[in-house]
Amino acid sequence: MIGIRPASEEFWINNVLQLSSGLEDMDGLPWHTTLALLISCLLVFICLSRGVKSVGKVVYITATLPYILITVLIIKGATLPGAVDGVLFYISPDFSKLMQVQTWLEASLQVIYSLGPIWGGLVTMASYNKFNNNCMRDSIMLTFLSLGTSVFAGFAIFTVLGHMAYNLDVPVANFSETGAGLAFVVYPEAIAFLPVPQLWGVLFFLMLFAVALDSQFVYVEIVLTSIYDIWPKFVTKYNIAVKLGYCSLQFITGLPFAARGGMYLFQLVDWYIAAFAAVAIGLLECIIVAWIYGADNFIDDVTRMMGYRPPYMFNILWRFITPALLIVVLVTSLMSYEAPTFEGYKFTSAGIAFGWFIAVVWFLPIPLVAIAQILRTKGSFLERLKATCKPSQEWQPGDVTLRQQYRSDPSQSELCTFRTTCCRST
């Protein structure tokens, strides 16, 4: 027997998604989701068309607007009956959950999504900073800012959910949906209980749009910066054409997700990339930096930029604690693996195989490039392995003066006294 759906879920499934019967039935493109995808790609292209400077100006709006809207929603939510119950449910810890591995697994995946330490966005945007920028301070501040934002936004969610639970006379725990379900089903349902729900609905989805657009800038810039690093002259000459071409490609590749069966594809990609591929890539990155390049060498590089040596605690974290935690998360994910489901739909064996293909193909370039480099190097296998584990000649400061000193005396601390920018144009 099919249960009765709330109005918001009915609208989300049947009107917004126009959900098909399954992954094998993509069932065409609704005009509204296709138009929304097109508008988002156009906005990203327009904001990126003039480079990082233009993005920086846009981010002033897209990064601050959500905080303003969240604050407005919190103030309004706090005045509603039942808001206190929602807040108490939110801030009341259940310490027994700490004994469950699943809790730590979910927390790790949340960090991967919210902070994005492995996707390349942080490294890409940081590459436009000044050479002597205090990267340690920024990394610590960004971590706590990401955590604080999540906690802060939670108050906006649970004050309104508390009011919804008060009106329906049910426990707040009943509204435990996460992800897209929380954003597009539970919270819109709760907004319907507010005075002038249309206003609060517009503000809420405007906040979601600003946050998503802000993230999209970074992820597009990752690819564009990588292309520039490989073909700098070509990208400089055809700058607008390259950006337009990539945004067009992004629109085309995003069309399957906008189809009526796109939510099944989204669920599949989200399930396998977040829980498996992302963790595996993070583990490989940590091993490469801490053990192959060397945590001590990396700390030396950071020292040259900042002017003082980071605490030795970071050496221990990079070498032992972080890899160990990622191994635990990866093994736990594999041991507790279950095939994804969505709205009662169970993915076929072909769909699951496609999901595993997505999970594997993401980190394949790392070992494949490593093997290619070993084969291209001359000498015995051990000589090749030793040579390929050394930094390339391109690993150096962008400024010519700094580069010469870096190569002549890598331990020279005077490098940090220079005030210059790295090789990227800001």
| Residues making up the binding site | 114, 214-215
Q: How many CB atoms lie within 10 A of CB 92?
A: 7
Looking from the CA of 404 toward its CB, the CA atoms found within 13 Å total 2
**Side chain identity at residue 275, one-letter code:** A
DSSP conformational letter for 36:
H
Query: Are the C-beta atoms of 232 and 95 separated by less than 8 Å?
Result: no
Q: Cα(208)–Cα(202) distance, rounded to whole angstroms? A: 10
4: which 2 tokens? 């009765």
Place of tokens 């490039």: 369
Q: Cα(47)–Cα(31) distance, rounded to whole angstroms? A: 24
Q: Cα(55)–Cα(424) distance, rounded to whole angstroms? A: 15
For CA atoms 56, 57, 63, 64, the dihedral sign is positive
DSSP conformational letter for 196:
S
Q: How many CB atoms lie within 10 A of CB 279?
A: 28
Nearest to 265 by CA among 15, 27, 9, 2: 27
217: which 2 tokens? 């800038």
Helix axis angle for 101-114 and 135-168, nearest 10°, is 120
Q: Cα(69)–Cα(78) distance, rounded to whole angstroms? A: 14
240: which 2 tokens? 């607008």
For CA atoms 211, 253, 230, 289, the dihedral sign is positive
Q: How many CB atoms lie within 10 A of CB 414?
A: 10
Could you tell me which residues are annotated as the binding site for Na(+)?
114, 214-215
Q: Cα(355)–Cα(340) distance, rounded to whole angstroms? A: 10
